[in-house]
Structure formats: structure tokens, C-alpha cells
Amino acid sequence: MLQNAPRNTPGLSAPETPFEPQMPAMRICRGVMRLLDGLGFASLQEFPLKARRRADVIALHASGEIVIVEVKSGRADFQSDRKWPEYLEFCDRFFFAVEPGFPREILPADCGLIIADAHGGEILRPAPQGKLNGNRRRVLTLEIALAANRRLARVLDPEI
């Protein structure tokens, strides 16, 4: 028979300070995912692509639209990255996401731009609409669904 938990369990109350991820990329990802969720997208972080690349954030909309967001935590992070053009063939829209103080003038003008922090984000520049190949869209949609299911299963049962 199950017993009721004590009403005043020490150590289980919510912290008085809001959650704030410490790493800039984590803060940006959190804000991006909150923004995309508000726009009707389901998002995953660190999603592996067939091009032996890993999307920082990939998002799927009920309409089938797929968005990839590349997070940049600073000038050096952007300047050392030459792989981002390879992501374009795996999405309908591509965005860079940066924190508010990022030097935006160094980012390509033909990509979308999101400004984000740990609490949310805003699209400052819409991403051009691409047209993902239908077969690739079907495969990616299935891979996103399977990855999300596996991640949830591991949260519920870490031994899986």
C-alpha cells in the first residue's frame, strides 16, 4: 500500500532564483527552443545529420516545415565555423541564434537571425524559405520523431 509523502519535505521546494544556464550556448538554445515552441515547433538540441554534422537545434512544425538553428556564442565561435552551409540542404529555413550583445554585422545577411537568452528569443530577421526535397523531409521527420522518442524513453528509464 502506498503512503502519502510528507507535506513539508525539506530540499524539494523550488529555488527562489530563476533557472539560468551557465554556458552561453545553453542559454541561447533554451531561449531558441522556447521561442520555437511558442511558434508551434517541437525542437531537439544536438541533432545528428547524415552529413556527419550536428545541428544545434532542429525543429519540426505540424505543417512539416523543418528549421535548423545554429547557435553562436561569440565572434570567435562564428569565425572558426565553416560548416554551417552544409546544414542548408537539411531544412526549409536556417537561422543563426546569438545573444543580444553579439556583433550581428558579421553574420550572413541571407540567413535568418534570432536573438535569444535563457528566457526566450525573438526573430530579428526571417530566414528565406527553402524547399527541402520531399524524400529528405520524410526521412528527417522520421529521424526527428525517433530521436525524440528515444530521448524521452531514456529520461523515463535511464537503463534503456
Q: What are the tens digits of pLDDT across the range 53-99?
A: 999 999 999 999 999 999 999 999 998 888 899 999 999 999 999 99
pLDDT by residue (tens digit) across 9-53? 344 444 455 555 568 999 999 999 999 999 999 999 999 998 789
Q: For the chain, what percent of residues have pLDDT higher than 70?
A: 86
Question: In a 10 Å sphere around its CB, with 0-12 CB exposed, 13-18 middle and 19+ buried, how is residue 147 labelled?
Answer: middle
The pLDDT, as a whole number, for residue 22 is 67
* Max CA pair span of the chain: 64
pLDDT, mean over the chain: 88
Does pLDDT of 138 surpass 60? yes
In the chain, where does DSSP find H-type helix?
24-38, 75-79, 134-156
**Considering Cα of 117, then 122, then 125, then 127, what sign does the dihedral take?**
positive
- What per-residue confidence (pLDDT) applies to 2? 32
Q: How far is CA 58 from CA 54, 137, 138, in A?
A: 9, 13, 15
Sheet containing 41-49: which strands, arranged edge to edge? 41-49, 53-61, 66-71, 93-98, 112-117, 120-125
Domains of the chain: 24-156 (3.40.1350)
- pTM for the model stands at 0.84
